[in-house]
């Protein structure tokens, strides 16, 4: 099989994308695939042409383009299968305020939030309770994200988001246990417990990508009841947003409530990333996981997701 591996792009998560792609390429080659590489930052105008010469595409993009559905739409137009969500599901999951609207309407617990598409006027005050998180509404990897304890810390946190070129999402903090749960195909994998190291108050960029930045325990050492609840809610979110292939939903658990924070449609894909860890606990090593994602991509094509 000839696979077009698409990675890089021009978001502030470009380096994360390229680092993961190097590991994915090794896994694709180990499964017997022929691999072509494409960086949208360099060959955006050739995506359809390059993809049409391949049997499938494998996306390892973070932020926009990639998680926003743009590349997926171009691949659909070219009639080329790819792993993961289609354009609509990708866009809804990336835009946290949109996804949270749908979750709230579906009865899925999610922390209260405010969406600020532009900087607020002088004298504005949030209606949310402190502490809260300020994050890019359509960003990832916890870049430009801050935990705000008091009113005086809010303005610089918002400035960090707006100066990075994003609308802002404010979200009430939930103090509890952080879990993440992946869905592969139509099955929820074992949840992972996340404990940031070094006294960090949340799973920030450093925690995610630095060696020893966080303790990630899979399967999570929680009750069978909580495991089942988180798995059920991860599947519910996956289906609610019309996702396919793979997704990863992040939770904060307080008491008996698992609050959905956000959904990742192109989660990190290195052998030590969260989804591969959960897959390994289910008996899939990294090359087997990559092969399974390609199988799911081809199955989506057989079901008619792609345009002829």
Give the pLDDT confidence of 5-37 residue by residue, as tens digits: 999 999 888 999 999 999 999 999 999 999 999
State the SS3 of the chain.
CEEEEEECCCCCCHHHHHHHHHHHHHHHHHCCCEEEEECHHHHHHHHHHHHHCCCEEEEECCCCCCCCCHHHHHHHHHCCCECCCCHHHHHHHHCHHHHHHHHHHCCCCCCCEEEECCCCCCCCCCCCCCCEEEEECCCCCCCCCEEECCHHHHHHHHHHHHHCCCCEEEEECCCCEEEEEEEECCEECCCEEEEECCCCCCCCHHHHHCCCCEEEECCCCCCHHHHHHHHHHHHHHHHHCCCCCEEEEEEEEECCEEEEEEEECCCCCCCCCHHHHHHHHCCCCHHHHHHHHHHHHHHHHHCCCCCC
Q: Is the pLDDT of residue 287 over 50?
A: yes
Q: Residue 254: its pLDDT value, please?
A: 96
Q: Is the pLDDT of residue 142 over 70?
A: no
* pLDDT tens sequence across 220-271: 999 999 999 999 999 999 999 999 999 999 999 999 899 999 999 999 998 8
Give start-end residues of each CATH 3.30.1490.20 domain in the chain. 113-172
User: Domain 2-83 belongs to what topology?
Assistant: Rossmann fold (3.40.50)
Q: In CATH, what number does 92-109+175-287 get?
A: 3.30.470.20
Active-site residue, 264 included: yes
> Residues 262, 273, 291, 300: which is the catalytic one?
262
Active-site residue, 268 included: yes
Give start-end residues of each CATH 3.40.50.20 domain in the chain. 2-83
Mean pLDDT of 52-81: 95
Least confident segment among 38-52, 94-108, 114-128, 290-304: 290-304
> Residues 17, 60, 247, 264: which is the catalytic one?
264
Active-site residue, 12 included: no
Closest CA to 68 of 43, 36, 93, 101: 93
Q: Is the pLDDT of residue 141 over 50?
A: no
CA dist., res. 160 & res. 181, Å (int): 29
> Residues 9, 11, 12, 13: which is the catalytic one?
13
Q: Is the pLDDT of residue 71 over 60?
A: yes
Mean per-residue pLDDT over the chain, rounded: 91
Start-to-end Cα distance in the chain? 20
* 8 A C-beta contact, residue 129 and residue 107: no
* pLDDT tens sequence across 177-224: 999 999 999 999 999 999 877 655 544 444 444 455 579 999 999 999
Active-site residue, 60 included: no
Mean pLDDT of 167-179: 96
Mean pLDDT of 114-128: 96
* 8 A C-beta contact, residue 308 and residue 79: yes
Active-site residue, 248 included: yes
The pair of structure tokens assigned to 269 is 């894909």
Phi, psi of 286 (to 5 degrees): -60, -50
Give start-end residues of each CATH 3.30.470.20 domain in the chain. 92-109+175-287
- Whose tokens are 């949840």? That residue is 191
pLDDT confidence band for 137 (50 / 70 / 90):
very high
Active-site residue, 175 included: no
> Residues 39, 68, 139, 209: which is the catalytic one?
209
> Residues 39, 67, 250, 300: which is the catalytic one?
250
Active-site residue, 55 included: no
Q: Residue 213: its pLDDT value, please?
A: 59
- What CATH superfamily classification does 113-172 receive? ATP-grasp fold, A domain (3.30.1490.20)
Q: Residue 272: its pLDDT value, please?
A: 83
> Residues 9, 84, 139, 268: which is the catalytic one?
268
Q: Residue 124: its pLDDT value, please?
A: 95
> Residues 141, 142, 146, 207: which is the catalytic one?
141
Mean pLDDT of 82-102: 96
Share above pLDDT 90 across residues of the chain, in percent, rounded to a whole number: 83
């Amino acid at each position: 099989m000839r696979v077009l591996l698409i990675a890089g792009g021009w978001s502030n998560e470009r380096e994360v994308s390229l680092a993961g792609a190097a590991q994915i390429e090794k896994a694709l080659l180990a499964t017997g695939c022929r691999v072509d590489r494409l960086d949208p930052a360099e060959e955006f105008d050739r995506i359809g042409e390059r993809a049409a010469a391949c049997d499938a595409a494998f996306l390892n993009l973070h932020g926009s383009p990639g998680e926003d559905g743009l590349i997926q739409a171009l691949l659909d137009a070219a009639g080329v299968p790819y792993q993961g969500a289609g354009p609509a599901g990708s866009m809804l999951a990336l835009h946290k305020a949109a996804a949270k609207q749908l979750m709230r309407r579906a009865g899925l617990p999610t922390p209260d939030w405010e969406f600020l598409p532009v900087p607020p006027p002088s004298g504005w005050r949030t209606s949310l309770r402190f502490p809260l998180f300020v994050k890019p509404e359509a960003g990832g990897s916890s870049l430009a994200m801050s935990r705000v304890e008091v009113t005086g810390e809010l303005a610089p946190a918002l400035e960090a988001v707006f100066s990075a070129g994003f609308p802002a999402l404010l979200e009430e903090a939930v103090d509890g246990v952080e879990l993440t749960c992946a869905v592969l195909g139509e099955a929820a994998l074992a949840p992972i417990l996340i404990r940031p190291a070094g006294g960090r108050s949340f799973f920030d960029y450093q925690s995610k990508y630095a060696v020893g930045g966080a303790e990630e325990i899979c399967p999570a050492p929680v009750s069978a009841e909580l495991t089942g609840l988180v798995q059920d809610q991860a599947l519910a979110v996956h289906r609610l947003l019309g996702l396919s292939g793979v997704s990863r939903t992040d939770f904060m658990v307080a008491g008996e409530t698992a609050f959905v924070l956000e959904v990742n449609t192109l989660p990190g894909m290195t052998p030590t990333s969260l989804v591969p860890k959960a897959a390994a606990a289910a008996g899939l090593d990294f090359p087997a996981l990559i092969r399974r994602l390609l199988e799911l991509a081809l199955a989506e094509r057989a079901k008619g997701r792609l345009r002829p």
